Structure 1
Amino acid sequence: MIAGHWDVVVVGARIAGAATAWALAPYAKKILVVDASQATSFWPQQSTWDRDGALLWADLGLHETVLACGAPPTYGHTFRADGEVTEQDYPRQDAYSYRMTAPREVLDPALLRAAQSRNNVTVLRPARVRDIAIQGGRVQGVTVRHQGAEHPVSCDLLVLADGRLSRNADRVGAVPYQVIPSPWVAMLAYFADLPLPSDRGYICLQRDNVAISTPCGPRQWCVSTDMHQAMLDASGRHPAQEFARIIAEDPHLGPAVAAGRRISPVGGAGKLRMQRRPMSGPGWCLVGDAGYHLDPVVARGTKAALVAAQLLRDRVAAAGEVRGAILEGLTEQRDAAMQPDWELAEQACLPAPSRV
């Protein structure tokens, strides 16, 4: 039975939504997760995190889940800039001192399965929120469309994790208070059987593009580029063509890719914008890109999603239940926790002549 009352309704079942449903489950009787995508959807996206992210996964109780996705931890990378090549090793402070990259079509379903393993989490997919009920300025519930029917649902808390273009965030009045256009176009593809190390990454930095490879599974690598829009405008070529050119001309990646095989389409996104929205309001909360979108060029999006899930979890845990949780001040707390990452991404989005 869908219609009725749920303690929490989570809209979006990817990293932020699935992790939040998992984290709130101990403090709720019933959680409904609504996701618009098909189970077979493919996103040309990856999830990357370093020690900070690994510690967040551990704090949320999901560390073993992400390790089981099969992506090998990396403990350093080869760095190329201006023709100079250096080897960088990550400080080995503890068991979390590594970097990891996982394909989203592997990681996201694993997190959703973990959330569903909680007996009080129900997932509807594909399903959409058609309307949000607001009374006296507070969210009271939603109307969910699933299998051709609409179901009125009430809830104590609505969590929006439905991405940077969330219309539901607009519906609850979460207006962005900071927006920064990005000049970067991100493209990636997955490859298998490359003659590259399985415990180290690679970064090649040029003025108008960055090429990166990182192990992301058994004998699998994600190869990605971030290309400045000015470069694409000057070349007149499609981003996928520039992706192929940059990789082929790279002295490290070119021979490796030629010796291996591509196992996914080339895909990506451009004309993005960084934005910050309020994290919470009466009866609602935003997690993931819906509330805080960082340019993917700095690979901090996963950390931002986990920070928001952790902060919300801690507020609910302090109250002992969802209904009594105090959500005021979450925006300021999130922004303070992520400020260094925001500033790094903001610097990356400066016009090309101003960048270092």
Structure 2
Amino acid sequence: MIAGHWEVVVVGGRIAGASTAWALAPYAERILVLDASRPTAFWPQQSTWDRAGNLAWAELGLLETVLACGAPRTYGDTQRIGDDVVERVYPREDEHSYRMSLPREVLDPALLAAAQSRGNVTVCRPARVRAITIDGGRVRGATVRHDAIDSRLTCDLLVLADGRLSRNAQRVGASAYRVVESPWFALLAYYENLPLPTDRSYFSLQDRSVLISTPCGDMRWCVALDLHQSLIDETGRHPGRAYERMVRDDPHLRPAVAAGRRSTPIGGAGRLRMLRRPMSGPGWCLVGDAGYHLDPVTAQGTRAALVTARILRDRVADAGRAAGADLTGLTGERDAALDADWAYTERIVRG
């Protein structure tokens, strides 16, 4: 039964939600994570980060969980810009100086399992918030649909980690105060048994497109394409067909994919919006894409999600308990911490 009182209720069980539940567990007696997806869900997404992301995982105490997912560490890449090819090696500053990529259907369950291992974190899925209870201007709880039954619960803190399209953010009054429309369409698929290095990635930067190949598991690669909407409009070609053609015509990837096999359908999304919403209000807080969504073209979103989870954890840790923690001023703290990532991504998006 999920009805009753919980110190913290987290809506969303992916990177931001699972990491937040893990991070807040020492400061709450009972935490409930509500996730709308089923345990067998497949998401055509990957998570990619570099040294800054590794440090963010380490700050939350989740780096070992991530490393146990088995993705190779990459220490350099091959870049093709037009017809020119450049081999790069990443600077070795410390033991965190590498990049990693993981399929979300591998990473997200691992993070959720880590949160549950705390002992005071309960996961309920599939579950959807149908209404949020607000009394005296403060969030007090929610009505949740699970197993075709609506349950009412109360909480001291409601954490929304339910993505950029969060309806619950609107329900608590967290409207976007900064929005940037993106002209990029992101696509990807996973491949197996490619005859490619496992410690290097590949980037092909061409006219209004970026084709990327990254090792992301045991003999598994993610091949992703960022495609500018203007190129789609000019050619009239379906983005999926454009993906197939560009992979097939690429001199580096063509022989590799011919020797291996594609193991998933091509997935993707376009016409995304970068956005900023307030991070907190009376009885609620937004983490991850729900409050701060960066276009995936620069692969900064994972670190942004972890930074927001860490900022909330630190504020709760200062109070000693999740109940009664003062969450004022979190929006400015978050925006200052992520301003460089936002500026870099917006510059790429606006082109």
TM-score (norm 1): 0.98
Separation (CA, whole Å) in 1 of partners of 2:142 and 2:325 = 20
Determine if the alignment matches structure 1 residue 297 to structure 2 residue 297. Answer: yes
Separation (CA, whole Å) in 1 of partners of 2:259 and 2:326 = 56
Indicate the SS of the match to 1:338: helix
Deviation at 1:234, TM superposition (A): 1.1
Aligned 8 A contact 2:77 2:203 in 1? yes
Amino acid at match of 2:151: H
Determine if the alignment matches structure 1 residue 209 to structure 2 residue 204. Answer: no
Indicate the SS of the match to 1:93: coil
Deviation at 1:323, TM superposition (A): 1.3
Amino acid at match of 1:246: M
Separation (CA, whole Å) in 1 of partners of 2:276 and 2:207 = 27
Separation (CA, whole Å) in 1 of partners of 2:256 and 2:19 = 35
Separation (CA, whole Å) in 2 of partners of 1:124 and 1:215 = 32
- More deviation, 82-91/296-305: 82-91
Separation (CA, whole Å) in 2 of partners of 1:227 and 1:160 = 30
Residue in 2 that maps onto 1:124: 124
Determine if the alignment matches structure 1 residue 6 to structure 2 residue 11. Answer: no
CA RMSD, 1 decimal: 0.7
Separation (CA, whole Å) in 2 of partners of 1:79 and 1:340 = 24
Residue in 2 that maps onto 1:280: 280
Aligned 8 A contact 2:156 2:324 in 1? no
Aligned 8 A contact 2:77 2:202 in 1? yes
Determine if the alignment matches structure 1 residue 241 to structure 2 residue 246. Answer: no
Deviation at 1:237, TM superposition (A): 1.3
Residue in 2 that maps onto 1:261: 261
Determine if the alignment matches structure 1 residue 330 to structure 2 residue 330. Answer: yes
Separation (CA, whole Å) in 1 of partners of 2:344 and 2:204 = 18
Residue in 2 that maps onto 1:306: 306
Deviation at 1:115, TM superposition (A): 0.6
Separation (CA, whole Å) in 2 of partners of 1:174 and 1:110 = 30
Residue in 2 that maps onto 1:148: 148
Separation (CA, whole Å) in 1 of partners of 2:297 and 2:68 = 26
Separation (CA, whole Å) in 2 of partners of 1:39 and 1:169 = 24
Separation (CA, whole Å) in 2 of partners of 1:294 and 1:266 = 22
1:69-100 superposed Cα distances (whole Å, 9 cap, x missing partner):
11011001011112111111111111111000
Amino acid at match of 2:73: P
Residue in 1 that maps onto 2:55: 55
1:196-227 superposed Cα distances (whole Å, 9 cap, x missing partner):
10000011111210000010001111000000
Separation (CA, whole Å) in 1 of partners of 2:337 and 2:206 = 30
Amino acid at match of 1:35: D
Residue in 2 that maps onto 1:222: 222
Separation (CA, whole Å) in 2 of partners of 1:249 and 1:278 = 44
Deviation at 1:297, TM superposition (A): 0.3
Aligned positions, number: 351
Q: What fraction of aligned residue pairs are identical, expressed as a percent?
A: 67
1:259-300 superposed Cα distances (whole Å, 9 cap, x missing partner):
111111110101111000001111000011100100000000
Separation (CA, whole Å) in 2 of partners of 1:232 and 1:2 = 47
Deviation at 1:324, TM superposition (A): 2.6
1:292-319 superposed Cα distances (whole Å, 9 cap, x missing partner):
1000000001011000000000000111
Query: Which ranges in structure 1 are unaligned for 5 or more consecutive residues?
Result: none
Deviation at 1:136, TM superposition (A): 1.2
Aligned 8 A contact 2:163 2:290 in 1? yes
Separation (CA, whole Å) in 2 of partners of 1:147 and 1:247 = 43
1:76-127 superposed Cα distances (whole Å, 9 cap, x missing partner):
1011112111111111111111000000000000000001111110011001
Aligned 8 A contact 2:185 2:271 in 1? yes
TM-score (norm 2): 0.99
1:27-86 superposed Cα distances (whole Å, 9 cap, x missing partner):
000000001111111111000010011011111111010001110110010111121111
Residue in 2 that maps onto 1:104: 104
Separation (CA, whole Å) in 1 of partners of 2:76 and 2:272 = 29
Amino acid at match of 2:163: G
Amino acid at match of 2:119: N
Determine if the alignment matches structure 1 residue 347 to structure 2 residue 350. Answer: no
Separation (CA, whole Å) in 2 of partners of 1:107 and 1:307 = 17
Indicate the SS of the match to 2:232: helix
Indicate the SS of the match to 1:289: helix
1:110-167 superposed Cα distances (whole Å, 9 cap, x missing partner):
0000011111100110011111000111100111111111111110100000010000
Separation (CA, whole Å) in 1 of partners of 2:297 and 2:38 = 27
Deviation at 1:236, TM superposition (A): 1.1
Residue in 1 that maps onto 2:167: 167
Amino acid at match of 1:192: E
Indicate the SS of the match to 2:155: strand
